Structure 1
Amino acid sequence: MIRPVHSNDAQALLDIYNYYVIHTAVTFDIEPLSIQIFKDKLNHINADYPFIVYEDNNEVLGYAYGSRFRPKPAYGYVVESTVYVKHTAHGKQIGTKLYAELLNLLKQTDLHTVLGVLTIPNEASIKLHERFGFKQVAYLKEVGLKFNKWQHVGIWQLHLK
């Protein structure tokens, strides 16, 4: 079931996120986040943008949200989309279901453009974005240093209106 995030989801979401921090380059956080930092982030995002979770048998298996792309006022109609699925729950279409619902929620706002900002290579995330009509609009070489290796970033864009 997909539902809005609750504050008591924070630890389950943090556990999902910190796995990716520790084991992958899909996020550029280097150290695991604390529960307080993650709760602050969750509350900040949820105040202005959709933030949803996928729950099955009372277990949170993934989450998705929109967040501000950049702080300058002219970017006010652009949102960055994010989705994470518990690493043990891949292959169940959870990310696809979350993304479909997130995009549906974003289309109900006055937002104009959604951006997916992906560490490259990441074939699964690229396929997810392109399944929903996102088009690659940028490729940034060596913009993040993680695991002592320069990481590349691609940006995929979808117009909502």
Structure 2
Amino acid sequence: MIRDATPADAAAIAELYNHYVRESTVTFEEEPVTAEAIAARMREVNERFPWLLLEEDGALVGYAYARHWQTRSAYRHTVETSVYVAHDRRGKGHGPDLYRALLGRLPACDVHAVVAGVTLPNPASVAMHDKLGFKKAAHYTEVGRKFDRWLDVGYWHMVLADKTQ
């Protein structure tokens, strides 16, 4: 079941996300985040955009959200998206399911364009974005450093149906 996340979900979201903080380079965050920090992020996002989560049998399987991409007003119709699936539930189609639900909600939020950053290499994330209709727009070499490694980041881009005219 995909539903809107609430502040009561912050602890479970933090637990899922912190696996990636501690164990992977898919996020450049280096210190685990608290439930309170996640709740604050959710409040900021929910002022305008959805934060969705996927549950199975009452357990958090994954989440997705959109946030402002840049702060200047001309970017107000563009968002950056993030999707995380529990590390032991990857490869079952949950990421694309969450993404489709999120993308379906964004036009009602007056969103025209979607940007997604991907730490490279990450063949699964690249394949998911390509399958969903995103196009690679940029590749930045060695822009992040985590676990004593320089990391590349690619950006994928999608234009939604135009509701901003």
Shorter-chain TM-score bucket reads: over 0.9
Q: Secondary structure at the match of 2:139?
A: strand
Q: Quick one: percent identity of the two aligned structures? A: 38
Shift of 1:85: 0.2
User: What is the alpha-carbon distance in structure 2 between the residues aligned to residue 96 and residue 137 of structure 1?
Assistant: 20
Q: How does 1:12-161 map to 2 (within 5 A)?
A: 12-161=12-161
Q: Secondary structure at the match of 1:155?
A: strand
Shift of 1:107: 2.5
Shift of 1:108: 2.6
Q: What residue identity is the alignment partner of 1:42?
A: M
Shift of 1:118: 0.7
1:31-70, CA deviations, whole angstroms, 9 ceiling, x for partnerless residues? 1112221211111112211110000100011000101111
Shift of 1:138: 0.2
User: What is the alpha-carbon distance in structure 2 between the residues aligned to residue 30 and residue 99 of structure 1?
Assistant: 25
RMSD of aligned Cα (Å): 0.9
Checking the alignment, whether the CA contact within 8 Å between 2:13 and 2:35 is kept in structure 1 is: no
1:15-34, CA deviations, whole angstroms, 9 ceiling, x for partnerless residues? 11100000001101011112
1:98-121, CA deviations, whole angstroms, 9 ceiling, x for partnerless residues? 011001001233211000111011
Q: Secondary structure at the match of 1:137?
A: strand
Q: What residue identity is the alignment partner of 1:126?
A: V
User: What is the alpha-carbon distance in structure 2 between the residues aligned to residue 108 and residue 44 of structure 1?
Assistant: 18
Provide the residue aligned with 2:7 in structure 1: 7
User: What is the alpha-carbon distance in structure 2 between the residues aligned to residue 46 and residue 124 of structure 1?
Assistant: 28
Shift of 1:127: 0.8
Report the TM-score when normalising by structure 1: 0.97
Q: Secondary structure at the match of 1:13?
A: helix
Q: Which range is displaced more, 83-92 or 106-115? A: 106-115
Q: Which structure 2 residue ranges, 5 or more long, are not aligned?
A: none
Task: State the aligned residue count.
Answer: 161
User: What is the alpha-carbon distance in structure 2 between the residues aligned to residue 13 and residue 35 of structure 1?
Assistant: 8
User: What is the alpha-carbon distance in structure 1 between the residues aligned to residue 27 and residue 74 of structure 2?
Assistant: 26
Shift of 1:150: 0.8
Shift of 1:89: 0.8
Q: What residue identity is the alignment partner of 2:132?
A: F
Q: What residue identity is the alignment partner of 2:133?
A: G
Q: Which range is displaced more, 103-112 or 127-136? A: 103-112
1:63-102, CA deviations, whole angstroms, 9 ceiling, x for partnerless residues? 0010111111111111001100000111221111101100
Q: Secondary structure at the match of 1:48?
A: coil
User: What is the alpha-carbon distance in structure 2 between the residues aligned to residue 108 and residue 123 of structure 1?
Assistant: 31
